[in-house]
Amino acid sequence: MDRNGTWLRRTVYVLLALGLLFGTAIGSYLLWERAPELNIEEGIAVPAVEEPSAAPTAEIASVSAPRERRSYTLLLVGNDDGNGNTDTMLVARLDTMAHRLDIVSLPRDTYVNIGWNIRKLNAVYTGTVNAGGVGIEGLKQQVKNLLGFGVDCYAIVDLALFIDTVDRIGGIDFDVPCDMDYDDPTQGLSIHLKAGPQHLNGQQAMGVVRYRSGYVNGDLDRVEVQQRFLKAAATQLLQRGLPQMKELAVLLGEHMETDLYPANIAFFLRQALLCESENIRFATMPNIPCDVAGLSYTFVDLEPWLQMINERLNPFDMLVTRENLDVVYKIPGGFGCTTGTPKGEWYLYS
């Protein structure tokens, strides 16, 4: 089998999830031979130890835990709503020893245990900035509360860049799942697509990944369509032999914020391409939709989520348990909180 054929056998969506979101991967591969060490956070979050006289607290600390060899976690973030919110959030775990890649979508409406009026995960980045903090640090903390451990690294991409990217690779063939008609002049957003297989240009592709108003399950259905689009785009990009990838690496690198070195990115891409398709999995955080105080949220479905964390995302030789998390979750007739007391107004939990 020739080189392109081998890549096709090992594809699915990994190139778009890691290549496009990380941007400079191919270009850096041409310039670097080995990656410097990553800034790895060696710990799993656990409730802080308190003195008997101390007041109750929901603070989270880290403890040392044995780590699996050459297994890394990444937070991939996209800003695609025009308001600064991070509507696309993925956590990936790449095991470079077993050649396995897991990518889990975190729904944008995930309820986070903070004392703000709007407690949605997609609002944390902007809310942190508005409060005088560093947006990615606030988001990483809330993701840590959801996972029980801190991610090793992150990348943030303005998903409007998809328009130019898709155009430069000649468009994407995709089976649009339904008629899409939506206009929002405040965002400069106009989506008008018919259902069925078609060749999408950049503007149309952006419409597909942003559309959600006509879905029964809103953003949860949009996440599923985004995953299908990533698979289709990655497969077609590999079939074309990556002729424009060096140019795209420069373009995407100019629109990405990350704590990774170019050599780290190249290392991840090389390792991901060693994964067989059956060892690359895409999933969504188990959740329960629920309206709270007039707003739509998705709450962690706690036990299935813990199982997914440990099976797909945990890079440590130590199981994550409910005591490691700081989340509010749905129970029959109300809500529970892994740290004992939810933050915010009590009326929300009655």
Burial of 146 (0-12, 13-18, 19+ CB in 10 A): buried
Q: What is the pLDDT of residue 53?
A: 35
Q: What is the pLDDT of residue 206?
A: 85
Q: What is the pLDDT of residue 302?
A: 96
Q: Which helix (H) or strand (E) holds 300?
A: strand 295-300
Task: Say how far apart CA 129 and CA 110 lie, in whole Å.
Answer: 19
User: Cα separations (Å) of 163 from 171, 173, 252?
Assistant: 9, 14, 12
Q: What is the pLDDT of residue 87?
A: 82
Q: What is the pLDDT of residue 226?
A: 79
Q: Which of 93, 146, 118 is nearest to 302 (CA)?
A: 146
From first to last of its 350 residues, what are the pLDDT tens digits of the chain? 444 333 333 333 333 444 444 433 333 333 333 444 555 665 776 554 443 333 333 344 455 667 777 889 999 998 755 567 888 899 999 998 999 989 999 999 999 999 888 899 999 999 999 999 999 999 999 999 999 999 999 988 776 677 887 888 789 999 999 999 988 887 777 899 999 999 999 989 988 888 888 887 777 788 788 778 877 776 676 566 555 555 665 666 667 788 877 667 767 767 776 777 778 888 899 999 998 888 889 999 999 999 999 999 999 988 999 999 999 998 888 889 999 878 876 445 44
| CA 268 centroid distance within chain | 16
Q: Let me know: does 304 contact 39? Beta carbons within 8 Å.
A: no
In eight-state DSSP terms, residue 64 is -
Task: Say how far apart CA 280 and CA 98 lie, in whole Å.
Answer: 11
Specify the pairing of strand 71-79 against strand 153-158: parallel
